Amino acid sequence: MAAQHFDPSREWAIERDKQDELASFRSQFYLKEGAIYLDGNSLGLLSKKAEQSLLALLDSWKEHGINGWTEGDEPWFFLSERLGKKMAPLVGASPEEVIVTGSTTTNLHQVVATFYQPAGNRTKILADELNFPSDIYVLQSQLRLRGYDPQEHLVRVKSRDGRLIEEEDIIAAMTDEIALVVLPSVYYRSGQILDMRRLTQEAHQRGILIGFDCCHSVGAMPHEFAEWDVDFAVWCNYKYLNAGPGGVASLYINRKHFHRLPGLTGWFSSRKDKQFDMEHQLTPAEDAGAYQMGTPHLLSIAPLIGSLELFAEAGIDRLREKSLQLTRYMMDLIDHELQGMGFTIGNPLEDKRRGGHVYLEHDEAIRICKALKENGVTPDFRAPNGIRLAPVALYNSFEDVWNAVQILKKIMKEEQYKKFKNTREVVA
C-alpha cells in the first residue's frame, strides 16, 4: 500500500469520508447519534440486515414450528453448512472446509481433542505467553485429560518486550517434543499479525500440526487457509463479523484431515442423511460438518445470515484496505496531537504486521477509558495499561477517528480522568 498523506485538519477527514467507496455501509448499522463506537474488535455493532435475518428466523419458527428444520427460506437443518459456504471466501477455504458451530472455546476443545495425538517423544503443545487466556485454559485442560502436567507439557514462547512475539522464537521452539502448535492469528492486546503461511510451513517441515485462533482477524483482513495449508482454525463471529453477543462461532478443517474422526462427537457430527436413523454407531459427515456436536443455536446463528450479506457486498480486500487507512490515520493523529501526554503506541507500525485496532499504553489507562466513555467514545481497556481503539471499516469514518483523538486530547489537557477510580469494571 502506498504511503498515506497525513493532514491533521478536520476538513481533510471529512473529505476522505466523501471519497470513501465503503461509506454507504455506515447507514446499514445502528449508530448512536453523538457517540463514537471504537470497540468493534470486542463486539461489533448491529446491522439492519442482521436484525432482519434474526426476525426472519423468528418468523419461520412462528410460521412453521418444527417443520422449520426443513421448510422456509432458510431451513434450519442445513443452516450451519450453508453459512459455512458463505464464510469460506473470507478465509480462503473451500465451502466444505468451514462450518458455523459452537463457540471459540468449545471449537478449540474440539480441534485440540482431535489433532493433539501425543506419541513417543512428541507430547507437548506449543503456544505463547501473550495468547488470550481462554485458549491457554483449553490447552491446559486437554493436557490434563491426557494425563500430562500443563506446567511441563504446555510450552509458551516468551515475549521479548511484553507486547509482541517474534516468529523466530516460535520457530525455534518447534522442537521434536512438540506434537501440536496453537497460536493466535492476531494478538488481542497489541494487534500484531503472525505470518500464518510461514509458521505453517515451518511446523510442517518438522512434522508438527498447527492451527490458529482467528478471532481478531476474520472479518478484518483476508486469509488463505487452504493455500497456506493450515491444519485447522477457529474464530468467533461477534467481533468484526457483527453476529451479535454470543453469536455462534466457526471453524475450518483442512480437507486433507476429513478422514479423521473428531475428538468430540455428537449427533450433529453425523452425515445428514443418516442423522435421524438414530443408530448407536456414528456415521460422521465427510467434511467440516463432522466437527459439530449438538443442535445449532439458531437464534444466535440468525444474525450472521444478514451480516455475511454485507461482507459479500463490501469485499474483504476493500475492507482491509480501509481498515489499514483508518488505523494509520489514527496513529498519525495520536503522534501529532498527544505528544508529551504519556501515551505509547504498542501495536506494530507496519501495515503487514498490524490487525484492525490501535493499542495505546498509558499508566492511567483505566481512568482514561472511563473518561472516554463519559465523553461518548467507546474504547476497550486491557490490563494492565492498555487502551484498544478499533475503527471498523464497515461503520467507522475518518471523522470518527478525528473526533475521538480530539476528545482524548481534551480529556488529557483537562485531566478529566482524575475524577474516576483507578479500578476496572467487571467487563473491561
248-280 pLDDT, tens digit per residue, is: 999 999 999 999 999 999 999 999 999 999 999
Cell 417443520 -> residue: 67
Average pLDDT score, the chain:
97
Tell me if 53 is assigned to a ligand binding site: no
Average pLDDT, integer, range 204-220: 98
Q: Structural domains in the chain?
A: 10-30+315-419 (3.90.1150.10), 51-313 (3.40.640.10)
- Give the length of the chain: 428
Tell me if 238 is assigned to a ligand binding site: yes
What pLDDT does 297 receive?
97
CB burial readout 97-112, b (16+ within 10 A) else e: bbbbbbbbbbbbbbbb
Tell me if 133 is assigned to a ligand binding site: yes
Average pLDDT, integer, range 83-100: 98
- Which candidate, 89, 91, 54, places its Cα nearest to that of 74? 54
Angle between helices 398-414 and 10-19 (to 10 degrees): 160
The CA dihedral of 193, 198, 201, 202, to the nearest 10 degrees, is -90
Average pLDDT, integer, range 238-256: 98
- Which candidate, 202, 188, 198, 246, places its Cα nearest to that of 54? 246
80, 95 Cβ separation under 8 angstroms: no
Share of the chain above pLDDT 70, in %: 98
182, 139 Cβ separation under 8 angstroms: yes
Q: Specify the pairing of strand 36-37 against strand 98-100.
A: unpaired
Which residue blocks in 219-351 are alpha helix, DSSP H?
225-228, 298-314, 316-337
Task: Give residue 428's pLDDT band: very low, low, confident or very high (50, 70, 90).
Answer: low
What pLDDT does 423 receive?
86
Tell me if 323 is assigned to a ligand binding site: no
What pLDDT does 133 receive?
96
Tell me if 135 is assigned to a ligand binding site: yes
Tell me if 75 is assigned to a ligand binding site: no
Rounded distance between C-alpha atoms, residue 217 and residue 291, angstroms: 22
Tell me if 303 is assigned to a ligand binding site: no
Average pLDDT, integer, range 150-173: 98
